[in-house]
Amino acid sequence: MKRLLTLAGLAVGLVLVSAGSAAAHPLGNFTVNHYNGIALFPDRVEVLAIVDIAEIPTAQELPAIDTDGSGTPSAAELSAYAATQCGDVAAAVVAEVDGVALRWTVGATTLETVPGVAELPTLRLTCPLSAPTDLAEPATVSLTDSYREDRVGWHEITAIGDGVRLLDPPVPGESLSDELRSYPDDLLLSPLDQRSVELRTEAGSGVSSGDGNLLDGASADPFTRFLASADRYLEDLIGPELTPLVGALAILLAVLLGAGHALLPGHGKTVMAAYLAGRRGSRRDAVTVGATVTVTHTAGVLVLGLLISLSSAIAGEQVLRWLGVVSGLLVAGIGAALLRSALRTRRPAVPIDAPAPALVGAA
């Protein structure tokens, strides 16, 4: 037992050491990350829309991309899927000049697979959009991106003017993430969430943009940096191959994290305690209730993972929200049932009218 605890301490220590390169996706493998690079010209507006799709949503989409079922999408299949998705992007990215909506023309689209964590594929979708307009006079340009807005992830917008002057733009001219290629270390746990922007313009010459200082150090507190570095080191520890050592460490860490997770508030511990106290349950009853909660909790996690891996229509973060609602209603229902049972046991017994006893005998 002592040796096991020592090994567990070493494993946790390995995870908490800071080193390595930036993580692939700021919110983990569920994320769908967006970048919109706006370029304003006197006669048109251009937007470079890029979508970086992490490992799990990529795994959900690959069957739809690989139409011939070969197991690996071909260049033609990637190109066809890119054209379809960029059409959806063009419909979801809404731009207006002085309240008049622009109509996008989609340029040469691309969809490429990029190795992610443990060499699992991710997708990078690039959609060049262009629309004619007149920015020779002062104008207000607005843009809103609602493409896959139900998915969590990094949302970034930049803006530059070429022959158009930007007046105090609220977004920088250069991408903090190098167009979703390298996310800043100090923003990994507090990613950008820029889904819309409004720009004021006037006629000008040369290239103008924001200075980008508005976002510097947005989440640079020491605790955030520490957690981000620990997460990066864990990914570096896994590497491209899942070795037996990595598997053993993963199981050990899962046990430790699961035990700590169970001690946190929630998981029905108060309800179970109230139930056992009300029923005057024995140790055997406590073990039975605890084992039931453990089994159902684990089964729920496994079913959730299976559903997410089988269907691209299911977003993990959406399922978690609904599970929170359902579990809350379930606990409330159990509490109401326990309260009703307690009130019944406390209710005084109703006296029963019965005839007075009489002796039966001979006269």
* Residue 221 pLDDT > 60: no
* 196, part of any domain: yes
Q: How confident is the model at residue 185 (pLDDT cuts 50, 70, 90)?
A: confident
Residue 25 forms part of a structural domain: no
Q: Does some domain include residue 160?
A: yes
Q: Which of 161-175, 214-228, 341-355 has the lowest mean pLDDT?
A: 214-228
Same domain, 115 and 47: yes
Q: How far is CA 235 from CA 19, 136, 142, in A?
A: 10, 50, 38
Angle in degrees, CA 290, 291, 297, rounded to 5? 90
In a domain, 363, yes or no: no
Q: What is the pLDDT of residues 13-49, one digit of tens each?
A: 433 333 333 344 556 788 899 999 999 999 999 999 9
Report if residue 7 sits inside a domain.
Answer: no
Statement to judge: residues 194 and 295 lie in one domain: no
The answer to whether position 15 is within a domain reads no
The answer to whether residues 72 and 152 belong to one domain is yes
187 and 297 assigned to the same domain: no
- What gap in Å lies between CA 337 and CA 342, rounded to an integer? 9
Asked if residue 289 and residue 193 are part of one domain, the reply reads no
What value does the mean pLDDT of the chain take? 77
What's the farthest any 2 CA atoms get from each other in the chain?
130
Q: Are 200 and 307 in a shared domain?
A: no
pLDDT at 338 over 50: yes
pLDDT confidence tier of residue 327, bands split at 50, 70 and 90 = confident
Instruction: Say if residue 123 is in the same domain as residue 206.
Output: yes
Residues 199 and 297 occupy one common structural domain: no
Q: State the Cα–Cα distance between residues 56 and 50, nearest whole angstrom.
A: 18
The highest-confidence range among 70-84, 294-308, 331-345, by mean pLDDT, is: 70-84
* Domain membership flag for residue 3: no
Q: Is the pLDDT of residue 83 over 90?
A: yes
**Domain tally for the chain?**
2
Residues contacting 339, CB < 8 A, separation 6+: none
Host domain of residue 88: 32-223
Please give the pLDDT value at position 9. 42
The pLDDT of residue 277 is: 65
Residue 61 in any domain: the answer is yes
In this structure, are 112 and 181 located in the same domain?
A: yes
Q: What's the Cα-to-Cα distance from 87 to each of 11, 24, 103, 155, rounded to whole Å?
A: 47, 26, 12, 19
- Higher-confidence residue of 241 and 138: namely 138
